Each structure stands twice: as C-alpha cells, then as structure tokens.
Structure 1
Amino acid sequence: MRVHVIGAGLAGLAASLALADAGLRVALYEAGPAAGGRCRSYFDRQIGARIDNGNHLLLSGNRAAYAYLRRLGTEATLAGPLAPIFPFFDRADGARWQLRPGRSRLPWWIFAPSRRVPGTSPRDYLALRHVLRARGETRVADLPLAPQLARRLITPLAIAALNTMPEIGSAALLGAVVAETLARGGAACIPAFPRDGLSESFIDPALAALAAGGSEIFLARRVTALTTRDGTVGAIATTAGPADFAAGDQVVLAVPPWIAAELLPGLTVPDAFEMILNLHFRIEADPGPAGFWGVIGGVAEWVFVKPGIVSVTISAANRFADTPPETLAEAVWGDVAAVLGVAGAIPPCLPPWRLVRERRATFLASPEQSRRRPGPESALANLVLAGDWTATGLPATIEGAIRSGNLAAQGIIERVLRHAARH
C-alpha cells in the first residue's frame, strides 16, 4: 500500500513526513519545478541575491511549526530575539516603541508603560477578551477596542495574521491566533524567522529526509485527473502519464483550493482570495533589536532585515492590485528609509529591488469564506484533504498548513491501523 501525496507545499510535506515516519510508503507529486509553494527561496537575478518569495514570522506558540522544524533538525536555522520583543514605528508621528509582553500567562506587563502600546492604558487591554470570545459573523472592525490599541496593535496584527482587512476579516479567526500566542503569555510570543531562507529551514531538509527514507518525489509532475470508482480514487493521471496506483492506495490532496475543486467536482472550497506583496531591496541595514519592524500608517507593514537584503511585506494587498510596481517601490522605500534611518528616501536613490506578487496568497479570511472550508475527510473513502485553506481553526498560516498535513496523515494512519486490525 502506498500513500500518494499531491502537492509539495508545507501541508503536503508535513503529511509526507508524518506518513513516512509511521512506516508508510509515500509518493509525493508537485506540479512546479520546486517544492514549497508559497514558502520557498530562490536566487533572483534582477537584484543578484537569494530571496524568499514571502516573509513569514513564526511565534514560539506555533507548536506544530516548531515540532516540524525539530523533526528536521532545523530549529537552529531561525533568527530573531530571545525574548518577546516587537519593535514598531509610526509613520504619522515618527514614534518608536517596543511591545514586550511578559513571559508569564498573567499579563503584568500591561501595567508597565514601556512595555505596552503608547497611548494605551491597562484597562484598554481588558477588551482583548472580546477578541477571544468572538464568534460567527463578527468582523475585526466590530470589536469594541480603544482607538490606539486598535490602530497600533490589533489592526496590524489582524492584517498580518488573516491577510484580510479588519472590515472584512473574521474576528473568530483572529481570536484563535491570539488564544495560542498573546493569551498564553510572552513565552508563546517570541518571534522568529528563517535566518538564511524559507527553503533552507522548511523545504530542502524535508525533501532530503523523505528521499533518505525511500519516499518517491516527483517534481514538475502535475496531477491532471483523479479517476473515481465505487466511492474511491482508483487512478491518478499526471503530465507524465498514469501514476503507479494499486487497490488499497490512499491519497492526500494538498493542493490550492481552486485545484482541489477542479480535481474533485462538487467540493466546496473558499473561492475568494487576497494578495500579498513582498518588496525586496538589496541593501545592508542595521537589524535593530529583533531583526524586523512593524510599520504603522505606511504602505509597508513589516520590514525584515537580513544580511544584504531588506524585505517588506504588505498583506491584504488586493487594494494595490493595479498600482504600478515603480509607484509601490518608491512608496515602500520611503517607509523603509524612515524606519531604518538609511539615506536616500527619494526615488533616484532606490537600491536594486524586486516586487513579488502572490495574487492568491490566501483565502479571504471572512466569516463567509470560513464557512466554505472543508474538513480533512472527503466523499471518497481513500482521499483526505490538506492545506491551510481547510478547516484548521486558524487562518492561512504556516502553523495551519502544517497542522492540516499532520491531521491528514493521522487520518490515513488510523485507517490503515483499522484495516490491519480487521485482517
């Protein structure tokens, strides 16, 4: 018996590793020439540097992501501060501050002005209970929050976590993120990001581990059709011909939702999406206390400083879909120059740059789209679903993708064990 994992993004890789660790034979198919999906690195000739196709900030409360890295032995490849420190810069008035939650679950830190958001009082943070209790149709913008707390913390957190504007974004999904991080104290909020690249931390070691364990890996091999027989997948067609598929084989479908809907007609999936923009500038800069900055009131939202590269993330970026790249680069460079204190905040002084648009980076994290997220089980007895767009209880994040892969693998492992017990 073999498990065919379709899609080599983080969900597919997590599922493949869990299945292989359980002693199952794995065949992994990826339509693109490289694994990783939206979580990968590559050398960009335009700026002459290796870059990530997107920036991802992990928190120590992301238990599945850290367990995945420990499995690969790559936890030490992360960079970031050793304490929960989040530096911010406000473009409106030039204010700089650090959000520094205490490590305890008890939020004593809100009584220290130097640790909390400027312009807020300890009483303001009591309103976070509304975030944790949010359900149903409540949007982030509906939450009764103090203006400065909303503008300088909850809004940027929501846009980053949900990749959706607060007027649309599900408060329940934001609450799920807060419950696993800030609500558990600063010990669950220590930030980290790949020191060298996403591929070096998450992707290449996973492929190496799978190959060393005997898994078959097929890159640049798109699955074009699933043939169903008697309520099961009976055959898999690929661009290289039919896959070697036998009776009793299992399938993990870990592809984007629009591809899943093509392969499984009738499957309900999210069908509205948000873009993420990433701008990479080739320049040396001081990384500051954490290696990144949150920007309030600018076009840039998060600025990551790595050796030789400054990378900027703009989430919920459908609003910039028609903005010319040069216009975006100039606006973002102004933010970067102000945040990092580097010279040359005018267009002629732009360093080499690259704009990367992920047009369907995540599903739109609205209550309506959340209701369209399926669970791991499908109508086919030998096929399970995986992906950050499935019903993980979290928005579309690295943590959600890895959890979905683990859950899909667990379902198949339990199936195999039940079958073995009957025979």
Structure 2
Amino acid sequence: MARVHVVGAGLAGLHAAVILAGRGVPVVLSEATRQAGGRCRSYHDAVLDMVIDNGNHLVLSGNPAVARYLRAIGAQDRLTGPEEAAFPFFDLQRRRRWILRPNDGPVPWWIMSSRRRVPETRVADYLALITLMRPHPGRRIDEVVSCHGVAWERLLRPLLVSILNTIPEEASADLAGAVFRETLARGGRRSWPRIATPSLAAALVDPALDRLRRDGAQIRLGRPLRAVTTERDRLSALLFDDGEQRLGPLDQVILAVPPWTATSLLPDLKVPDDFRAIVNAHFRVAPPAGAPLMVGLIGGTAEWVFAFRDRLSVTVSAADRLLDMDTATLTDILWHDVAVVHDLAAPVPPCRIVKEKRATFAATPAQDARRPAARTRLTNAFLAGDWTDTGLPATIEGALRSGEKAAALAMAESS
C-alpha cells in the first residue's frame, strides 16, 4: 500500500499525519529535531526548574481547525479560558483598567455600550473594523483605515500586532480582515480566548503523538531531511541523515517544514523570505489571587501578560527591536510592566527570556504574495505550514488548516 511521508512534526505536519493515519493510510512522520511541536513546544527549563512553553500561544473559540484537531487527538479538554469574550486591558501611563466585552451574538450591540467598548471611544470609531473585513487585495492597513486615535492606540493596534506579528501600519489589510471575519464578525462567542493547559506539549503535541502511535504511524525524531531526488515530475527519493528513502510509484510526501528548509529542498519554490521576531519572558512567580488569564498592556514594552498557575509570562510581538538588548536590561523592563499591572512589589524573580528570531513571516502584502499553494509542480509533493497560502496570518489555525489541505491532496493522489 502507498505510504505518505510527512516531513516535519510541527502542528501542520502533526495534523496531516493524524488525518492520514486515522483513515488507515500508512504514515512515516520524520522530524529533524528530537522533539515534536515545532514552534509550539514545551520543555523543562533549568533556570526556572519548571516546564515552560517556548511562547504564549492564544487561540479563539471560533477556530474550526483547532476544534477538529483537538477532537481527532482526543484533547478537547486541554484548552482553558473564560466562557465569554472578555479581554482585560491596562494602560500603563494612565493606570487605567478596562475590559473589552463583545456580546456573544452576531449583531454587535456591544459597541453601543460604554461599559463594553474601550473608554473614551465612540460608536463611529468601530467602523474601522467593518472596513477591514472587506477585501483589500494587496493593500496595507494604513491604506485602508486611519492609524490614529484612541480606538487605534488602545484596541486595534494591540490586537493587530499580536494577530499579525507585524507592525500593523505596514501589514496586509486582507490578512487582518480574514481573522476578524471569522471571529468578531460572527459574534463574541467565536472570540472566547483559549490557552493550552497545562502546557503546549500536553495540549497539542503529546496527544497527537499518542494518537499516531495507536494508529500505527512510524514516528522518527532526530531525522533531518537533507536533500531530495526528482525524476521528471515526481520526487523519487528522500535523503535523510540515516540514509536514502526510495519512494514507491504511489508514495506521497508532505513537506511540513519551515520555508527556508522548503526552498533548500525545492530551489525553484517561491516562499516568504522576510520574518518577524517574538519575544517571551517567563517569570517564576505565582500570579496574585484573582489575576485574569491574560491582560493586554497599553503604553509599555510588554504587550500581553499571561497568568499561569506557577508563573507570569509576557509576550511581545514584532519584537525585532528587542533581539539585541541585554538580557538583564530586557528582564528589568518587562518585569516593571508585569509588576505594575499586577501591583507587585517583589524584586525581579527568576526569569527566562525566549527569543524566536524568525517566529513568523512578515504579514505584509508583499510577503503574503510569496506564499505558495499546498500543491507543488511535483505530482507527489505537497506543502504544509502557516507560511503557505492559507488566507490567514501565521497562526495555529492557519497551520492546522494547511495540514488538512495537504492531507486531502495526498489522499487524492494516492487513491
């Protein structure tokens, strides 16, 4: 029977492998590193002496591919969050708190309520959301809406930089609109925030590996793919560190690898080539009683503060400006923001700074245009990853959808 080789065990590769193995397709999952998960990984940190995630990844209740993936791996209970669309914010300069509370239904009456919308904003300020939801092919956000005013600084800019991991003014209006159309436009019920619990690995990775083992898939970690061999319009062999894998006439390959790896294997492939960083900080200190799961910060360096059972964590998106900053200085700056928002007088606790230099592709119109389709010029080779043409920014939802698409193509070709 034909096999499908899935190369790369990030979420895109895991989802593709889970779908295929669940339908009885023989799957060989190969991962270059010793740990599955890609950018959604967890590990024991020696400095903090605790398990931490490489980053703080948020999904929303209205992400359908996330829901399908969790059902497939039996992990529906591994995401936690409030049973409402509630987003607490704190303005560090004004020392002012508020909670953005979109109503559950699709008619957005919440913008009429001063207790639900951003303070000092008017109903007319939210027309920018409606504008962004319309198609704007090839246009930047600053060409579509005004990037000034209270609503921009206290709501749209903080949301957009975290969604797109790109300075919003230069980012793609279409990518921003795609997210809003699938969440807020369908009502607050589609926007309930959800966090992996107790860790990314426990929620999104380990259950998938367990599912694959039960379904008979071969899982080979620490197995880098160095090159491929082609014959006419097909891949004929995969050259791994542990030897050559010849492909049968019906075997299929899903390359769920980073874009720079994909183009090293298939040099004629056009892929995103400009990337943005994300910086996370994990502080070993228990959050104060009653601390919200997450708080958006306005006017600081930290952008979101997450309260886990045993630590407080910070995320800064589009963080290239912080990459070369001295670790001790960056730690002090981020802890100051955390201490203010949670009213903490303690000295700086033990901290781990995690810098993902190429966390996502830059979500600009130019880079969006470089995203390839799942199907390649080779009849038995398909691409998966949040950097492929999913119609979404580089998100968990986008990665999982790409895995679904690649799996569907591989099944169709091998049948």
Using structure 2 for the length normalisation, give the TM-score.
Answer: 0.97
Letter in 2 for 1:137: G
Choose which of 158, 174, 177 in structure 2 pairs with 1:175: 177
Aligned to 2:129: 128
- Contact 2:166 2:318 (C-alpha < 8 Å) held by counterparts: yes
Query: What is the alpha-carbon distance in structure 2 between the residues aligned to residue 34 and residue 146 of structure 1?
Result: 44
Once the two structures are overlaid, the 10-residue window that deviates more, 78-87 or 384-393, is 78-87
Q: What's the secondary structure of 1:403's corresponding residue? A: helix
In the comparison of the two structures, how many residue pairs are matched?
413
Q: 1:135 to 1:374 in 2, by over 3 A?
A: same
Which residue of the partner structure matches residue 409 of structure 1?
A: 407
Residue 151 (str. 1) matches residue 149 (str. 2):
no
Distance between the aligned counterparts of 1:287 and 1:233, measured in 2?
57
Change (3 A) 1:10 1:163: same
**Equivalent in the alignment of 1:35:** 36
Question: Aligned ranges for residues 23-422 of structure 1 at < 5 Å?
Answer: 23-142=24-143, 143-144=145-146, 147-243=149-245, 245-286=247-288, 288=290, 290-344=292-346, 349-417=347-415
Contact 1:251 1:382 in 2 (8 A): yes
| 8 A Cα contact 2:303 2:315, kept in partner | yes
- The one-letter amino acid of 1:278's match is N
Moved over 6 A (4+): none
Distance 1:288 1:102 in 2: 23
Percent identity of paired positions between Structure 1 and Structure 2:
48
Q: Distance in 2 between matches of 1:247 and 1:178?
A: 43
Instruction: Give a deviation string over 1:342-374, Cα, whole Å, max 9, x none.
Output: 113xxxx21000000111110011000000000
* Other structure's SS at 1:167 match: helix
- Cα distance in 2 for residues equivalent to 1:86 and 1:141: 24
Partner SS, residue 57 of structure 2: coil
Cα deviation, residue 144, structure 1:
2.5
1:146 CA displacement: 6.0
Once the two structures are TM-superposed, the CA of residue 166 in structure 1 deviates from its matched residue by 1.4
Q: Indicate conservation of the 8 Å contact 1:30/1:219, yes or no.
A: yes
User: CA 1:109 to 1:289, structure 2 compared with 1: closer, same or farther past 3 Å?
Assistant: farther
Q: Distance in 2 between matches of 1:314 and 1:111?
A: 31
**Conserved in 1, the CA contact under 8 Å of 2:89 and 2:296?**
yes
Q: CA deviation at 1:93?
A: 0.4
What are the Cα deviations for residues 152-173 of structure 1, in whole angstroms up to 9, with x where unaligned?
1110111101100013211110
Cα drift, residue 134 of structure 1: 4.5
1:145 to partner: Cα distance: 5.7
Higher mean Cα deviation, 214-223 or 132-141?
132-141
CA distance, structure 1, for counterparts of residue 53 and residue 236 of structure 2 = 38
Contact residue 287 and residue 306 of structure 1 kept, 8 A = no
State the 1:206 CA deviation.
0.3
C-alpha spacing 1:127/1:225, structure 2 compared with 1 (3 Å): same
Q: Aligned partners of 1:119 and 1:289: how far apart in 2?
A: 25
Specify the SS of the correspondent of 1:372.
coil
Q: State the Cα distance separating 1:292 from its structure 2 match.
A: 0.8
Q: Distance in 2 between matches of 1:290 and 1:352?
A: 22
Deviation at 1:328, TM superposition (A): 1.0
Cα contact 2:250–2:414 (8 A) shared by 1: no
* Alpha-carbon offset, residue 415 of structure 1: 2.0
1:244 is displaced (CA, Å) by: 5.2
Between stretches 256-265 and 159-168, larger displacement belongs to 159-168
Point out where structure 1 has 5 or more consecutive residues left out of the alignment: 418-423
8 Å CA contact 1:98, 1:115 repeated in 2: yes
C-alpha distance in structure 2 between counterparts of 1:165 and 1:296, whole Å:
15
CA distance in 2, matches of 1:285, 1:193: 16
- Which stretch shows the higher mean deviation, 287-296 or 15-24? 287-296
